[in-house]
Amino acid sequence: MAAENVRTVRSFCRICTSLCGILVDIEAGPDGDTVVDVRGDRDHPRSKGYTCPKGRALAKMHHHPNRLEHPMLRVDGALVPTTWQECLDDLGGRLRRIIDEHGPASVGIFFGSGLGMDATGYRLAQGLHAAIGTPAKFSPMTIDGTAKVLIADLMGGTSALSGRPDYDNTELLLLVGTNPVVSHGHNIAMPNPRGYLRELTARGGLWVVDPRRTETARMATGHLAPRPGTDYAVLAYLVRELLADGADRDFLRHHTQDGAALATAVEPFTVEHTAALTDTDPALLAELLAAVRATGRISVETGTGVTMSATANVTQWLACALAAVTGSLNRPGGTWFHPGYWYQLEGFELPISGPGGTFGPGPSSRPELQSMLDEWPCAALPDEIEAGNIRAVLNLGGSMVTAFPDAGTLTAALRKLDVLATWEIIGNETTALSTHVLATKDQLERPDVSLWDVLMTEVGAQYTPAVLDPVGDRRSSWWVLAELGRRLGHQLADTSGQVTDDAMLAGVTAGARAPMEQLVEQRCIRLGYQVPAPWVDRHIERLGGWRLAPPALVEQLAALDSPAPLVLVPRRQRGKLNSQLDYLGEPTEVHLHPDDAASAGVADNQKVTVSNGNGELAGIAKVDPTIRRGAVAIPHGHAHDANVNRLTSKDTVDILTGMTHYSGVPLSVRPA
């Protein structure tokens, strides 16, 4: 079918962490290569031909009218194209002066999602961060979800325990605040979620807890729609009742501690109390309990509906407690723990954290906050800039204006920086605020590996060569970072032109489970996974058993407020990845229940203003009987007056982890 000047290159998609195999058709022409089509690769062992609309839009991403082809420098207020030499000399000089005068903490670094999918760029960014030695490191962790990491640390004694459903064997899957049919999962990504869930429901049960009857809920055995942020009560009820009848006593006795304190904490959550608090049907709660009792084992997976809420920590705790009570941790049909592909956790003895978890000092402008995994909360950035503590920001593939809370306050702060240097492929609101724009290779222009091994549904790895040559002056992110490092006096990599992207890849991924040559040859290595994994059992034994009732969480549970009557809930859109792919035209739809629409005086498809004490957003009302009363679902990542982060606050964060509240934010809706 292909014309003579069209060639097809096999690769894998890195828009999201599902990493689907793709075939890219490229037409050679007098003005260079044109990507004419991107489709699923039927021979790919994991995704077997599956792709979603985002991956199939890679051609549009590559040929975007706003794509960046040259480095740019702000001169007299305007960004102008320049040479790499001039751009990097200017940036390096400014950074050196700022560091000399104000110290390394005056440089903030955001590890954005764009660079997160660029293996050599990400590794070199880690190197540059270490070389500069700034504590002001930020990443999507504190705007996506800290709760999973926190709970691993508090209950399992190490944040390295990355638990996920044993999808291959589960007979009962409970999804809380995640909609994989659209998102492909949170912190674990599966190609073809519908296909997978169809297989699961053919052999077992699927329950979904979500204020909306989502695409995933429509495939489920049962769906509960509690008031936003009250999910913890559903889980506490299940734990309470199972402790009375149906718990795995043997597992509790031999692999856990603090069971009595857990029982005390969940004691108030009778079916009556839980039904009233969550506004759900007591008969449905009883039905879910009966399903858990009948199956015995359970896989529980949460998503951003949980991790972005004010009750994230307690919900994640009780989800893990439910898995413990049913003897499902590190057991078939329950939770398995990813041992890593690039680094292998079973190879060494994991350090054991204290019962209070592992935290460090936070930024001085926000004394109430602490650092977690050596990162500062994103919410702290505006205050650190306003205080004069942070004077330069290196934004590595982030769309900061749409991703961080309090877009208005953040934008004003970013304008005050001496340096805002952004590594990007397409111009956006954040590049428009930048002093330096570093135009780097997009995913089709570089060889790569699946760096985020622990986000995969199995132990394994993938490799792709570059699909085509870079356009314009685009350079590899690693090269730009290393050249900047060189100007700051750090030798991070050989940038003389002798070292290829592939050689860099081999270097940064050394020590993996299989040699790089084998991965390059096979493209996709699949090692499956082991459950129970002896390294996990060994670690938990040294810990003295899973800690079922961390005091900080017992305290947070006791102190919870009831949610506001009308609140924001986050939601992903099919044709979008955070702020990316906006050109696929997903609208800023504001889904609300018919009763809430009637109270607000708004009709379906009407233009609305959503507002609260932080700001206003412009959207289009979708009157939706499948969302529960009191929840208003708005997607994020839209620009300018449709940016949902006009409604969120840098000051409303989880006090333990600094995670911003992006769910459960009070608001009101009115006709525009």
**What is the contact surface with ligand SF4 in residues (CB under 6 A)?**
13, 15-16, 18-20, 51-52, 54-55, 184, 191
Q: What are phi and psi of 210, to 5 degrees?
A: -165, 135
Cα separation, 387 vs 186, in Å, equals: 35
**CA-to-CA dists, residue 25 to 172, 321, 448, 536, angstroms:** 41, 49, 19, 44
Strands 392-396, 419-424: pairing is parallel
Q: How far is the CB of 561 from ligand MGD (least distance, A)?
A: 14
Residue 314 near residue 277 (C-beta atoms within 8 A)? no
Instruction: Choose the contact partner of 55 out of ligand SF4, Mo ion, ligand MGD, none; CB within 5 to 8 A by kind.
Output: ligand SF4
Between 384 and 442, whose beta carbon lies closer to ligand MGD? 442
Three-state SS sequence of 183-238: HCCCCCECCCHHHHHHHHHHHCEEEEECCECCCCHHHCCEEECCCCCCHHHHHHHH
Cα separation, 337 vs 531, in Å, equals: 8
Between 572 and 646, whose beta carbon lies closer to Mo ion? 572
For 615-636, the DSSP string reads EEEEEEEEE-TTB-TTEEEEES
Phi-psi region of 537 (alpha: psi -120 to 50; beta: other; left: phi over 0): alpha
Residues 292-351 that bind ligand MGD (CB under 6 A): 303-305, 309
Instruction: Choose the contact partner of 19 out of Mo ion, ligand MGD, ligand SF4, none; CB within 5 to 8 A by kind.
Output: ligand SF4
Whose tokens are 């996709």? That residue is 524
Between 520 and 584, whose beta carbon lies closer to ligand MGD? 584
If one asks whether residue 576 binds ligand MGD (CB under 6 A), the answer comes out as yes
One symbol per residue from 17 to 56: x for binding ligand MGD (CB under 6 A), - otherwise; what is it? Answer: ----------------------------------------
Between 15 and 372, whose beta carbon lies closer to ligand SF4? 15
If one asks whether residue 214 binds ligand MGD (CB under 6 A), the answer comes out as yes
Whose tokens are 């590595």? That residue is 396
Residue range at the interface with ligand MGD (CB under 6 A); choices 260-268, 467-475, 488-496, 641-649: 641-649
Instruction: Choose the contact partner of 476 out of Mo ion, ligand SF4, ligand MGD, none; CB within 5 to 8 A by kind.
Output: none
If one asks whether residue 277 binds ligand MGD (CB under 6 A), the answer comes out as no
Q: Which residue is nearest to ligand SF4 (CB)?
A: 55
Q: Within 10 A of 195 (CB to CB), how many other CB atoms are there?
A: 12
Residue range at the interface with Mo ion (CB under 5 A); choices 100-108, 124-132, 141-149, 165-173: 141-149
- Which helix (H) or strand (E) segment holds residue 260: the answer is helix 259-266
Closest listed residue to residue 481, CA positions, set 186, 128, 28, 5: 128
Between 40 and 259, whose beta carbon lies closer to ligand SF4? 40
Q: Judge residue 70's burial from the number of C-beta atoms within 10 Å of its C-beta, 0-12 exposed, 13-18 middle, 19 or more buried.
A: middle
Closest listed residue to residue 434, CA positions, set 67, 68, 72, 81: 72
Candidate residues 579, 588, 612, 649; the one interacting with ligand MGD per rule CB under 6 A: 579
Closest listed residue to residue 488, CA positions, set 119, 130, 50, 18: 130
Candidate residues 291, 425, 471, 557; the one interacting with ligand MGD per rule CB under 6 A: 425
If one asks whether residue 427 binds ligand MGD (CB under 6 A), the answer comes out as no
Q: How many contiguous H segments (helices) and E segments (strands) does the chain have?
A: 26, 30
- Strand partners for 567: 631, 666
Q: How far is the CB of 670 from ligand SF4 (least distance, A)?
A: 35
Q: How far is the CB of 245 from ligand MGD (least distance, A)?
A: 26
Instruction: Choose the contact partner of 51 out of Mo ion, ligand SF4, ligand MGD, none; CB within 5 to 8 A by kind.
Output: ligand SF4
If one asks whether residue 205 binds ligand MGD (CB under 6 A), the answer comes out as no
Q: How far is the CB of 260 from ligand MGD (least distance, A)?
A: 28
Q: Which residues contact 131 (CB under 8 A, 6 or more apart)?
A: 485, 488, 490, 492
Instruction: Choose the contact partner of 636 out of ligand MGD, Mo ion, ligand SF4, none; CB within 5 to 8 A by kind.
Output: ligand MGD
Residues 143-162 that bind Mo ion (CB under 5 A): 144
Cα separation, 98 vs 241, in Å, equals: 59
CA 659 to chain centre: 12
Instruction: Choose the contact partner of 633 out of ligand SF4, ligand MGD, Mo ion, none; CB within 5 to 8 A by kind.
Output: ligand MGD
Between 90 and 144, whose beta carbon lies closer to Mo ion? 144
Whose tokens are 């002001």? That residue is 136
Q: Within 10 A of 32 (CB to CB), how many other CB atoms are there?
A: 12
Q: How far is the CB of 25 from ligand SF4 (least distance, A)?
A: 16
Residues 139-198 that bind ligand MGD (CB under 6 A): 140, 143-144, 176-180, 182-184, 186
Cα separation, 399 vs 116, in Å, equals: 13
Q: Within 10 A of 473 (CB to CB), how many other CB atoms are there?
A: 15
Closest listed residue to residue 475, CA positions, set 421, 424, 430, 427: 424
If one asks whether residue 578 binds ligand MGD (CB under 6 A), the answer comes out as yes
Instruction: Choose the contact partner of 127 out of ligand MGD, Mo ion, ligand SF4, none; CB within 5 to 8 A by kind.
Output: none
- Strand partners for 448: 464
Q: How many amino acids of this chain bind ligand MGD (CB under 6 A)?
A: 64
Q: How far is the CB of 666 from ligand MGD (least distance, A)?
A: 13
Residues 428-467 that bind ligand MGD (CB under 6 A): 428, 440, 442-443
Q: How far is the CB of 137 from ligand MGD (least distance, A)?
A: 14
CA 81 to chain centre: 33
- Which helix (H) or strand (E) segment holds residue 123: the answer is helix 119-132
Candidate residues 334, 363, 398, 447; the one interacting with ligand MGD per rule CB under 6 A: 398
Between 326 and 399, whose beta carbon lies closer to Mo ion? 399
Max CA pair span of the chain: 74
Q: Which residues contact 49 (CB under 8 A, 6 or more apart)?
A: 21, 40, 41, 42
Residue range at the interface with ligand MGD (CB under 6 A); choices 124-132, 281-289, 495-503, 640-648: 640-648
Between 346 and 586, whose beta carbon lies closer to ligand MGD? 586
Instruction: Choose the contact partner of 309 out of ligand SF4, Mo ion, ligand MGD, none; CB within 5 to 8 A by kind.
Output: ligand MGD
Give me the count of residues in the chain. 672
Candidate residues 399, 434, 509, 614; the one interacting with ligand MGD per rule CB under 6 A: 399
64 three-state secondary structure: coil
Residue range at the interface with Mo ion (CB under 5 A); choices 136-144, 208-216, 583-591, 614-622: 136-144
259-266 and 231-244 helices cross at what angle (nearest 10)? 120
Binding site for Mo ion (CB under 5 A): 144
Binding site for ligand MGD (CB under 6 A): 16, 112-115, 118, 140, 143-144, 176-180, 182-184, 186, 209-212, 214, 228-229, 231, 303-305, 309, 397-399, 402-403, 423-426, 428, 440, 442-443, 477, 569-574, 576-580, 633, 636-637, 644-645, 648, 662-664
